[in-house]
């Protein structure tokens, strides 16, 4: 049987399914119909089973992890906790509820102490869920650890779950919920995990089923035949060979250069991006400096971070996006007003213009870092919708010492008047995630409209073509820095539409590099033309695929 979803990346994986149990609901506070003594025996039995499990996991893990797990095992049957549970059982509560409340009371106590203690509070929640799951004879929630490589099947992953994923063991990931820009999809892309998100029918997969996860085709094959497994295994080997291939600059078949750049969220990702062949940075997100902060970081602090990044990419191009707050990334010191439609609200350049001192400080720190290093710094503004905003940003950037200033094209308005926007700045970079969201009027965070969030839609492609044409006429660079650039076939279409560079998660570089090398500039234009003429996203993809197959399977012309 085949289950369809949205594939992330181009990978393939084969392995046994392990399902992730869903978080347990809070036990209902109802009177127990059992004797408190019996309830007490149930509670203590489950507590000691969980303690024994944690001890044995600790013994297997060894090292520092063993100390942590042993401490958790002791907490699971802590005498003070047993007393707290017993008190509640005397009042007629069920074992589940008593365990829940007893753990919660210590949890709140530790959380209130702050610092190290507050971090341990989350451990208590985890142990509490384990004990309650055992009482209810349900599987323990959280990422399972079956002790062998597996394909993880989950409704969706919480950020805390993804942090604990053991990438040595997780062969592939299938989620029932989530779209191509969900948290899980972004993580899978960053970590190069073979993943399918939004696979609604994956609820039917059972523990131990062997499945093929085919991200390139957005398919999960359950109960595969030996032939299918053999084909998948061959593809896995081919991909491993591709990744091991020498890294060359991005170029089309005739040698036309298409620089392949990295999207980075902090300077820490620089070494990995360079190893994978990034020729620079096409999108450096600066939000990490500001998130979790009540006030903007100082110019000195910012300058240190930018210097670190620019030093890592000495001699290469680095495009930094100034703070893109608002919508899904709210910052209280920029905009604390509750908005009905935050995606259409005071965000990006609009919020910065409203709090200009923050923008001035950021541009000052960037210019200082640029002066002290050898990278080629370009700076761009997010969420630009008008020529007026473009002029405002470039004038301010130049005043503060930025040499190359451009804008992101994420709104249909900026794309539709791209000739006038580009005339007022040095370059444009198309953010395909937001451009798709605004063109299709579909919230990119909303699973129910995830199908509309597809950059293959001809309406989106046509806007990109407008920007590409304007860039070519004015001789100004037009980059792509959304997830669309990471799709190897769409990357060729984007070049055909006029993109001069492509920026993506570093893990996608190898696939896109290999794909571009198969097509000439005319081929890319043919693919783009076929996609533009289609009536929908699926049709555009199929049309481009058909042209691509003709090109790659055509007999080579005699020399």
Q: 110 vs 440, which CB is nearer to another protein?
A: 110
219 pairs with which residues across the strands? Answer: 4, 214
Cα atoms in the 13 Å half-sphere on the side-chain side of 49 = 15
Query: Alpha-carbon distance 354 to 524, whole Å?
Result: 42
Q: How far is the CB of 95 from another protein (least distance, A)?
A: 19
Q: How far is the CB of 131 from another protein (least distance, A)?
A: 14
With binding defined as CB under 8 A, does residue 79 bind another protein? yes
Q: For the chain, first and last CA: distance in Å?
A: 46
Query: Alpha-carbon distance 425 to 405, whole Å?
Result: 6
Which stretch, 25-33, 65-73, 144-152, 275-283, contacts another protein (CB under 8 A)?
65-73
Query: Alpha-carbon distance 10 to 192, whole Å?
Result: 9
Q: How far is the CB of 29 from another protein (least distance, A)?
A: 22
Q: How far is the CB of 161 from another protein (least distance, A)?
A: 23
Does residue 481 have an active-site annotation? yes
In 3D space, the residue among 70, 60, 260 whose CA is nearest the CA of residue 166 turns out to be 60
Query: Alpha-carbon distance 302 to 293, whole Å?
Result: 13
Q: 109 vs 472, which CB is nearer to another protein?
A: 109
Q: How far is the CB of 120 from another protein (least distance, A)?
A: 7
Q: 64 vs 240, which CB is nearer to another protein?
A: 64
With binding defined as CB under 8 A, does residue 126 bind another protein? no
With binding defined as CB under 8 A, does residue 75 bind another protein? yes
From 134, 425, 457, 481, the catalytic residue: 481
With binding defined as CB under 8 A, does residue 125 bind another protein? no
Which stretch, 67-75, 279-287, 344-352, 387-395, contacts another protein (CB under 8 A)?
67-75
Which stretch, 112-120, 181-189, 237-245, 362-370, contacts another protein (CB under 8 A)?
112-120
Contact 407/479 with Cβ under 8 angstroms? no
Strand boundaries in 38-193, DSSP class E: 150-154, 170-175
Query: Alpha-carbon distance 559 to 284, whole Å?
Result: 45
With binding defined as CB under 8 A, does residue 2 bind another protein? no
Give me the sheet containing 194-197, strands edge to edge.
2-4, 219-222, 210-214, 12-19, 150-154, 170-175, 194-197, 6-8
Taking CB under 8 A as the criterion, the residue among 117, 136, 230, 245 binding another protein is 117
Q: 110 vs 133, which CB is nearer to another protein?
A: 110
Give how far Cα 191 sits from Cα of 279, 506, 515, Å: 20, 9, 21
With binding defined as CB under 8 A, does residue 80 bind another protein? yes
With binding defined as CB under 8 A, does residue 116 bind another protein? yes
With binding defined as CB under 8 A, does residue 55 bind another protein? no
Does residue 354 have an active-site annotation? no
Q: 121 vs 359, which CB is nearer to another protein?
A: 121
| DSSP annotation string for 241-296 | HHHHSPP---B-TT--B--EEEEESSGGGHHHHHHTT--EEEEEE-GGGTTT-SSP
Taking CB under 8 A as the criterion, the residue among 21, 34, 61, 71 binding another protein is 71
Q: 67 vs 254, which CB is nearer to another protein?
A: 67
With binding defined as CB under 8 A, does residue 113 bind another protein? yes
From 33, 148, 183, 457, the catalytic residue: 183
With binding defined as CB under 8 A, does residue 70 bind another protein? yes
Which stretch, 9-17, 64-72, 340-348, 482-490, contacts another protein (CB under 8 A)?
64-72
Residue 1 corresponds to which tokens in the numbers above? 């049987």
Contact 372/398 with Cβ under 8 angstroms? no
| DSSP annotation string for 395-436 | HHHHHTT-SEEEEEE-SHHHHHTHHHHHHTSS-EEE-HHHHH
With binding defined as CB under 8 A, does residue 106 bind another protein? yes
Q: 120 vs 444, which CB is nearer to another protein?
A: 120
With binding defined as CB under 8 A, does residue 472 bind another protein? no
Collect all residues with Cβ–Cβ distance below 8 Å to 471 and sequence separation of at least 6.
418, 422, 427, 428, 477, 478, 498, 500
Query: Known catalytic residues?
Result: 183, 481
Under the rule (CB under 8 A), what is the footprint of another protein? Answer: 67, 70-71, 74-75, 78-81, 106, 109-110, 113, 116-117, 120
């Amino acid at each position: 049987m085949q289950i369809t979803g949205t594939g992330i990346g181009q990978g393939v994986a084969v392995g046994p399914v392990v399902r992730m149990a869903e978080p347990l609901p809070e036990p209902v506070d109802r009177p127990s119909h059992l004797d408190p003594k019996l309830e007490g025996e149930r509670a203590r039995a489950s507590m000691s089973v969980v303690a024994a499990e944690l001890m044995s996991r600790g013994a297997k893990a060894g090292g520092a992890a063993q100390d942590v797990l042993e401490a958790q095992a002791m907490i699971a049957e802590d005498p003070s906790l047993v007393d707290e549970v017993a008190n509640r059982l005397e009042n007629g509560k069920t074992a589940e509820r008593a365990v829940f409340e007893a753990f919660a009371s210590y949890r709140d106590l530790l959380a209130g102490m702050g610092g190290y203690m507050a971090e341990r509070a989350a451990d208590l929640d985890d142990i509490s869920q384990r004990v309650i799951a055992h009482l209810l004879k349900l599987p323990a929630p959280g990422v399972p650890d079956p002790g062998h490589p597996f394909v993880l099947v989950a409704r969706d992953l919480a950020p805390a779950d993804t942090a604990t994923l053991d990438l040595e063991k997780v062969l592939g990931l299938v989620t029932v919920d989530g779209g191509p820009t969900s948290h899980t999809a972004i993580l899978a892309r960053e970590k190069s995990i073979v993943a399918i998100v939004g696979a609604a029918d994956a609820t039917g997969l059972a523990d131990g089923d062997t499945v093929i996860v085919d991200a390139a085709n957005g398919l999960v094959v359950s109960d595969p035949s030996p032939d299918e497994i053999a084909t998948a295994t061959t593809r896995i080997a081919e991909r491993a060979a591709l990744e091991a291939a020498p890294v060359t600059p991005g170029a089309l078949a005739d040698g036309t250069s298409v620089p392949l750049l990295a999207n980075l969220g902090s300077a820490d990702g620089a070494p990995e991006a360079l190893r994978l062949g990034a020729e620079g940075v096409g999108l450096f997100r600066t939000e990490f400096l500001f998130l979790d902060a009540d006030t903007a970081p100082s110019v000195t602090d910012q300058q240190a971070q930018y210097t670190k990044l620019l030093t890592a990419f000495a001699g290469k191009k680095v495009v930094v996006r100034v703070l893109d707050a608002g919508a899904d990334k709210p910052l209280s010191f920029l905009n604390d007003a509750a908005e009905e439609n935050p995606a259409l609200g005071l965000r990006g350049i609009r919020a910065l213009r409203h709090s200009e001192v923050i923008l001035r400080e950021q541009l000052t720190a960037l210019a200082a870092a640029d002066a002290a290093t050898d990278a080629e710094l370009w700076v761009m503004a997010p969420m630009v919708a008008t020529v007026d905003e473009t002029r405002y940003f470039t004038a301010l950037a130049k005043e503060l010492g930025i040499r190359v200033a451009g804008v992101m094209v994420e709104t249909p308005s900026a794309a539709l008047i791209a000739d006038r926007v580009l005339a007022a700045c040095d370059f444009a970079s198309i953010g395909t995630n937001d451009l798709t969201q605004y063109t299709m009027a579909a919230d990119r965070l909303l699973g129910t409209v995830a199908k509309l969030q597809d950059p293959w839609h001809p309406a989106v492609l046509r806007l990109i073509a407008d920007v590409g044409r304007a860039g070519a006429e004015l001789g100004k660079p037009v980059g792509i820095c959304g997830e669309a650039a990471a799709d190897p076939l769409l990357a060729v279409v984007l070049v055909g539409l006029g993109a001069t560079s492509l920026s993506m998660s570093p893990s996608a570089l190898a696939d896109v590099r290999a794909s571009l090398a198969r097509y000439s500039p005319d081929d890319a234009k043919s693919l783009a033309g076929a996609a533009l003429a289609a009536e929908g996203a699926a049709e555009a993809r199929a049309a481009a695929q058909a042209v691509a197959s003709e090109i790659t399977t055509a007999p080579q012309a005699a020399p």
